[in-house]
A and B are shown apart, each in its own frame.
Chain A
């Protein structure tokens, strides 16, 4: 299995400041077609997960441009610039290059 390791697991963030979450895979996530199937999801308290980013850096419709994804190969980052109160929740990375599909452990973002 491709093991996805996120850090930090807990992220105290300051309103208006930026915050970053790292996601590392135990295997390269570059597929045979040259694309990288790495997604990011946000799960607000009491809600279902919501996709923010797909294929490393493609932001979903309706997702604020404060959210950005980057990385390649085995190392990926989700950056939230100008953190807002509505960003509180747990963030997961997930890979779809290798079976079985796997998620990171999650990073809990809270406001300081």
Chain B
């Protein structure tokens, strides 16, 4: 059974950089597209972008200038960096497995990331 587990600091100050990691177990990171999706408290879902196992990335234009994703196939890990964070970036961040067309079939449990001074 494929499992995804996000990890990160939980709290970051405004203007700093959010760094999250997603560890994939029970399956290979190869072949699939790996997305980051966020959900502000009490609100809906927003796709941040995805990375293919080769390292090819596609980001949501609304966040593209601040987002970097990477993949480490040797560790079965994905990473997300989001720079210059503000309170608007406070959300639960999920990693999810999918295809070029989204279709996210496995999700992590999510990690709450809060921006506060």
- Taking Cβ atoms with an 8 Å cutoff, the residues of A that contact B are 31, 37, 39, 41, 48-51, 54-55, 60, 92, 94-97, 99-106
Interface string of B77-117 (1 = CB under 8 A from A): 00000000000000000100011111111011110000000
26 contacts between A and B (CB under 8 A): A31-B101, A37-B101, A39-B102, A39-B104, A48-B107, A49-B45, A49-B94, A49-B107, A50-B107, A51-B104, A54-B103, A55-B103, A92-B45, A94-B45, A95-B102, A96-B99, A96-B101, A100-B47, A100-B49, A100-B60, A100-B61, A101-B47, A102-B47, A103-B44, A103-B46, A103-B47
Cβ of B109 and Cβ of A48 under 8 Å apart? yes
Kindly provide the distance from the CB of B6 to the nearest chain A CB, expressed in whole angstroms. Answer: 10
Residues of A close to B109: CB separation below 8 A: 48
The 3 closest A-B pairs by CB, nearest first: A96-B101, A96-B102, A37-B101
Residue of B nearest to A99 (CB): B58
Cβ of B62 within 8 Å of any chain A Cβ, yes or no, is yes
Residues of B at under 8 Å CB distance from A? 35, 44-47, 49, 58, 60-62, 94, 98-105, 107-110
Q: Chain A residue with minimal CB distance to B108? A: A48
Query: Which residue of chain B lies nearest to A53 when distances are taken between CB atoms in the complex?
Result: B103
Chain A neighbourhood of B49, CB < 8 A: 100
Tell me, in angstroms, the Cα distance from A50 to B105 when the chains sit together: 7
- The one of A97, A102, A103, A105 in contact with B101, judged by C-beta atoms closer than 8 angstroms, is A97
Interchain CA distance A48-B58 in the complex, whole Å: 23
Evaluate contact between B102 and A37: CB separation under 8 angstroms: yes
Shortest beta-carbon distance from B103 to chain A in Å: 5
- List chain A residues, Cβ under 8 A from B99: 96
